[in-house]
Amino acid sequence: MGAGQSVAVFGAYGHTGRFVVAELAARGFVPVPSGRNAQALEELAGEYGLEARVASVDDPASLDRALAGTVAVINCAGPFASTTGPVIEAALRARIPYLDVAAEIEANLDTFAQYREPAREAGAVVVPAMAFFGGLGDLLATAAMGDWATADEAHIAYALSSWHPTAGTRLSGAVSRERRGDHRLRYRGGQWERRTDAAPTLEWTFPDPVGRRPVIGEFTMADVVTVPQHLSVSDVTTYMTTEAARDVVAPHTPAPTATDAAGRSDQTFLVDVLVRSGGAERRATAGGQDIYAVTAPLVVEALDRVLTGRTKAVGVASAGEIFDAPDFLRALAPHITLDLHPRKETA
């Protein structure tokens, strides 16, 4: 447990940031809310009796003040294309671990490309995409691989009952689209490809009770960045149920609405991971409620493991690279259902 350790949360007043603050407090940490909106910070800090620290990515000194005396920082502030670099650099100056919940694939790629060597040389820990998109799929793929050293393909399929995007999701999506232009990205043959054709519509058979559903293939998410950073897999593909894919881009889809005391929406999810090597297949699946809410136990569990030395790497590292994936996933049992048993494996 946190034992009163102070943890900076940049972007704490955002939708996901609030879940992270609540999870930190529940596990005995002292959240230190930070961000540029002073009024929103004070309101959030007042709810928990916390100290708010105003900071901006345009003002490195303010970030240094925000992180002073903390043991780590969790970045929840999108668009991450603007925030990851300055907050990582502040964490390196403070010599504390950095974790974020970024689902922007370009920002994730930048983190690995730009900070891998500086973080490794400093002996620092930087864990990007430690969230529903990126972290969870990466852990499941790592667990499914088991003792395989290599695989030909990794497929990560998402069945969301709906996808009501937050304002942050919409803004991050807009930034990603602006950076990509008319292209989409996919990972084939061990390298990134820029495509101009439409992503294919396919069908995926999820475990019961979801069953066979239409999905958008090559719906590239953060997992396609994190998985090949440490797993030797030639092709990595993510899929999204078509209804959810339509929801997230529709201009009039409302934001998530709380339906329980924890503030979670009634959205449900199922993540089905399949890895193939030669003629063999292995699977791992996880289900739960609210993709934004479940990010909080994911990133806080990661934080706890970093602070207690339950890690396998330094520098910039994906979830499955730095943590014991099966053990980590089992620790999430109060928040997800989990099946790590392969449904099919043939030679």
- pLDDT of 133 > 70? The answer is yes
Q: What torsion, rounded to 10 degrees, do the Cα atoms 29, 34, 37, 40 define?
A: 10
User: Is residue 80 pLDDT above 80, yes or no?
Assistant: yes
Domains of the chain: 6-130+297-310+313-321 (3.40.50.720), 132-291+328-339 (3.30.360.10)
Token digits for 21? 């603050």
Spatial contact of 298 and 223, defined as CB atoms under 8 Å apart: no
Contact 232, 149 (CB under 8 A): yes
Q: 347 pLDDT exceeds 80?
A: no
| Separation of alpha carbons 49 and 265, rounded Å | 26
Q: Which region holds residue 273: left if phi is over 0, alpha if psi is between -120 and 50, else beta?
A: beta
User: Residue 1: its pLDDT value, please?
Assistant: 66
The reported pLDDT for the residue numbered 313 is 96
User: Taking the CB of residue 65, how many other CB atoms lie within 10 A of it?
Assistant: 15
Task: Calculate the average pLDDT of the chain.
Answer: 96
Could you tell me the pLDDT band of residue 11, with boundaries at 50, 70 and 90?
Answer: very high
| Cβ–Cβ < 8 Å for 30, 6 | yes
- Cα 29–Cα 30–Cα 34 angle in degrees, nearest 5: 125
Query: What integer pLDDT is reported at residue 345 of this predicted model?
Result: 52
pLDDT at 346 over 80: no
Compute φ and ψ for 153, nearest 5 degrees. -145, 145
Please, which residues bridge with residue 10 across strands?
34, 75
Taking only the tens place, the pLDDT of each residue in 189-220 is 999 999 999 999 999 999 999 999 999 999 99
* pLDDT of 344 higher than 70: no
The pair of three-digit structure tokens given for residue 228, joined into one six-digit string: 């090949």
Q: For residue 175, what pLDDT is reported? A: 87
Predicted confidence at residue 342, as pLDDT, reads: 56
pTM of structure: 0.96
